[in-house]
């Protein structure tokens, strides 16, 4: 076994790899870009080396810089994590040339699986079932369009070199194909440096089920069962579980054996995942799964496999890379219980799951427990950068049963708090508690199908959040009264007052008011026709315990700028104490202008000044957090000004297009 390990990655996966490496007695080396100088993975390592500026191509994707860091730090081995250089054959070759052990498969295996078209041809030869489609070399637009017609709509355009939903477009009819093809090629070129695509039949009721495989250099290979990754948004996974609900034993065996055959066909070594699309229209059947791709690395969702097998997959990776045999045979591997992973992202579900960036003013993650695991790569006060994936943490729950695991994980997530940027926390909780999800009625369209139930409108502020904002304000006065004038005490005693006041707040859904009446002990609060008796206690940790008509509610309220952020059961509601002068000042602001929903780079401007556009018409394409986002007009109108051009970097809220009167 080597004695030192450089982790060529960042965030939660770098921390996760280092935990196992430290337990095994290895010296760890971190690499970091300028914006990550104070990141948790840097603090966790025994040694750290700067490798460049924030942009990934100048740091985490810079092979020469990573190899130089390994040599300078005395590293004997390199673990690539996932993403970045993890599936880069040139990087595996560079490690070997530098005398470093690459903790991953041989470069030849990466190349064999790195291009989806070649991989599918190889699998077809190995008699692994594949989805009908076109995987050829002819990339002419008209040829691809004809192939799409031959396959039959709907089809899926996918980047040959891609993954993670980048360079992927669903197309439902021929009229959409040309625009979707250009977008997929452009995104593929940006993300992978390769614009080639393939076209496949779109499976209408798809479940995404993948098999974890492991192989060593002695000819041994096993499968560590399956993971169901069907819960996806923007073609990216958000909730994963193991084992797959409803999986028959014969299908598990058939898929596992197909995955092992795939690994052996390419001389695989280490951890890999063979991903399949399963046609769930007639239930899980052993003859209705199709090879999609192989990820030649550790997966983001590997913790659920670890939870049901009791194994440490990173330890297996390190041992295999050091030349050892697999620790267990297939007959010795067993499934115990059920595990579910939720990916906590900085993103806005109410706005198409667009990524969010900025400082984490408040971050409280669930407490780790015997059956709750938290893998995080950021801390409170840290930044979620536009340069990298917006994941905050992964939270994993295990129980003897699937229902128990879902409930345990949802309960744990309800104790989490995120403020300062938008997150998908409330969405995750709603999904885990949704009846159809609990009943395992799942496929990759689940989120779209239940969107209205899983994602509250951006302007919906419940009465409890409004009452908590009022109680927080009253509790602050109570604290001040302990050290200031007795005239400030909020105990109901007043001279020449009505012992009542009206609190006014600005919310996304308009002005909200709370009538406060001071009682001898506590308050009577009225919102519309509802009146409650309430009191509040400020806890030592800064949270609030409110009693509202006998109900006890634990929450947190924070000052963020001039606003109040109410953190309640995974939701963050923003309320602004009403300022009539500010309201008047902004009353004439234009609601027509199209603004950037996040920082990013303008890839293409699709209109010109003077054009009349309709609501929903594409105006510009913005690249942010490794994905393309089409910005569409919010109303009918005429373009009066386009302040930015293709290639320009813009900040969140920047005006992309100005409008004049509605088009005739």
- CA separation for the pair 624, 647 (Å, rounded): 12
Annotated catalytic residue within 207, 297, 362, 556: 297
Beta bridge partner(s), residue 547:
535, 552
Phi, psi dihedral angles at 42 (to 5 degrees): -70, -45
Exposure on the CB side of residue 117, measured as CA atoms within 13 A: 18
What does each C-alpha distance from 514 to 257, 312, 523 come to in angstroms?
63, 53, 11
Helix axes 313-321, 302-309, angle to 10 degrees: 100
Query: Token pair for residue 472?
Result: 């927080």
End-to-end Cα separation, the chain, in angstroms = 74
The owner of tokens 């092979």 is 63
Nearest-5° Cα angle at 623, 163 to 420: 100
The CA-based angle 440-443-448, given to 5 degrees, is 110
Distance CA 202, CA 187 (A): 20
CA atoms within 13 A on the CB side of 588: 2
The reply to whether omega before 556 is within 30° of 0 (cis) is: no
Query: Which helix H or strand E contains 321, and what residues bound it?
Result: helix 313-321
Report the half-sphere exposure of 541 (CA within 13 A, side-chain side): 8
Question: Is residue 624 within 8 Å of residue 386, measured between CB atoms?
Answer: yes
Tokens of 15: 């921390």
What distance in Å separates the CA atoms of residue 269 and residue 257, rounded to the nearest whole number? 16
Q: Assess whether 196 carries a catalytic annotation.
A: no
**Sole residue written with tokens 């295990």:** 398
- Residues shown for the chain: 664
Going by C-alpha positions, the residue among 444, 353, 349 that lies closest to residue 156 is 444
Catalytically active residues, by annotation: 297
């Amino acid at each position: 076994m080597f004695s030192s390990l450089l982790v060529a990655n960042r965030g939660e996966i770098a921390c996760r790899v280092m935990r196992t490496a430290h337990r095994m007695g290895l010296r760890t080396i971190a690499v970091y870009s300028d914006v990550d100088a104070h990141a948790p993975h840097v603090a966790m390592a025994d040694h750290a080396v700067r490798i460049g500026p924030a942009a990934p191509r100048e740091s985490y994707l810079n092979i020469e810089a990573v190899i130089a860091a390994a040599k300078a730090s005395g590293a004997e081995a390199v673990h690539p994590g996932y993403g970045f250089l993890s599936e880069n054959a040139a990087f595996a070759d560079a490690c070997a040339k530098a005398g470093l052990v690459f903790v991953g498969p041989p470069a030849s295996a990466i190349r064999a699986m790195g291009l989806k078209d070649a991989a599918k041809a190889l699998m077809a030869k190995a008699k692994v079932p594949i989805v009908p489609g076109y995987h050829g070399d002819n990339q002419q637009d008209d040829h691809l369009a004809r192939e799409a017609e031959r396959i039959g709509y709907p089809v899926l355009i996918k980047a040959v070199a891609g993954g993670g939903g980048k360079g992927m477009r669903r197309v439902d009819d021929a009229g959409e194909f040309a625009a979707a093809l250009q977008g997929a090629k452009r995104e593929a070129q940006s993300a992978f440096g390769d614009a080639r695509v393939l076209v496949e039949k779109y499976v209408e009721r798809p479940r995404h089920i993948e098999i974890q495989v492991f192989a060593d250099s002695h000819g041994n290979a096993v499968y560590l069962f399956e993971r169901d990754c069907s819960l996806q948004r923007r073609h990216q996974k958000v909730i994963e579980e193991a084992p797959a609900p409803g999986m028959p034993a014969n299908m598990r065996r058939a898929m596992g054996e197909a995955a092992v055959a795939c690994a052996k066909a390419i001389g695989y070594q280490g951890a890999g995942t063979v991903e399949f699309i399963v046609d769930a229209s007639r239930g899980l059947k052993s003859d209705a799964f199709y090879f999609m791709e192989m990820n030649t690395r550790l997966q983001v969702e590997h913790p659920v496999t670890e939870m049901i097998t009791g194994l440490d997959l990173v330890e297996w990776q390190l041992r295999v890379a050091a030349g050892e045999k697999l620790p267990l045979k297939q007959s010795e591997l067993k499934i115990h219980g059920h595990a579910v992973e939720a990916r906590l992202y900085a993103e806005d579900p109410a706005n198409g799951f667009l990524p969010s960036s900025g400082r984490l003013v408040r971050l409280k993650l669930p407490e780790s427990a015997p059956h709750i695991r938290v893998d995080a790569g950021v801390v409170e006060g840290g930044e979620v950068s536009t340069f990298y994936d917006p994941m905050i943490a992964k939270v994993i729950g295990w129980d003897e049963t699937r229902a128990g695991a879902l409930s345990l994980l949802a309960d744990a997530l309800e104790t989490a708090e995120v403020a300062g940027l938008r997150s998908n926390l409330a969405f995750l909780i709603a999904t885990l508690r949704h009846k159809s999800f609990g009943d395992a009625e799942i496929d990759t369209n689940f989120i779209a199908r239940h969107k209205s139930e899983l994602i509250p409108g951006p302007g919906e502020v419940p009465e409890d959040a409004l009452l908590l904002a009022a109680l927080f304000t009253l509790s602050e006065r109570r604290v001040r009264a302990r050290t200031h004038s007795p005239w400030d005490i909020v105990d109901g005693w007043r001279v020449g007052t009505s012992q009542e006041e009206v609190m006014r707040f600005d919310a996304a859904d308009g002005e909200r008011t709370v009538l406060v009446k001071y009682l001898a002990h506590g308050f009577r609060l009225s919102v519309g026709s509802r009146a409650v008796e309430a009191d509040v206690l400020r806890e030592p940790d800064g949270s609030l315990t409110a009693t509202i008509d006998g109900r006890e509610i634990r929450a947190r309220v924070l000052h963020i700028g001039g606003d109040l952020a109410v953190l309640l059961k995974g939701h963050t509601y923003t309320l602004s104490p009403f300022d009539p002068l500010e309201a008047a000042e902004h009353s004439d602001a234009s609601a027509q202008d199209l603004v950037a929903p996040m920082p990013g780079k303008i890839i293409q401007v699709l209109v010109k000044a003077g054009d009349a556009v309709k609501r929903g018409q594409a105006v510009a394409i913005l690249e942010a957090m490794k994905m393309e986002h089409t910005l569409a007009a919010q109303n009918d109108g005429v373009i009066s000004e386009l302040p930015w051009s293709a290639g320009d970097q813009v900040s969140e809220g920047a005006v992309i297009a100005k409008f004049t009167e509605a088009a005739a």
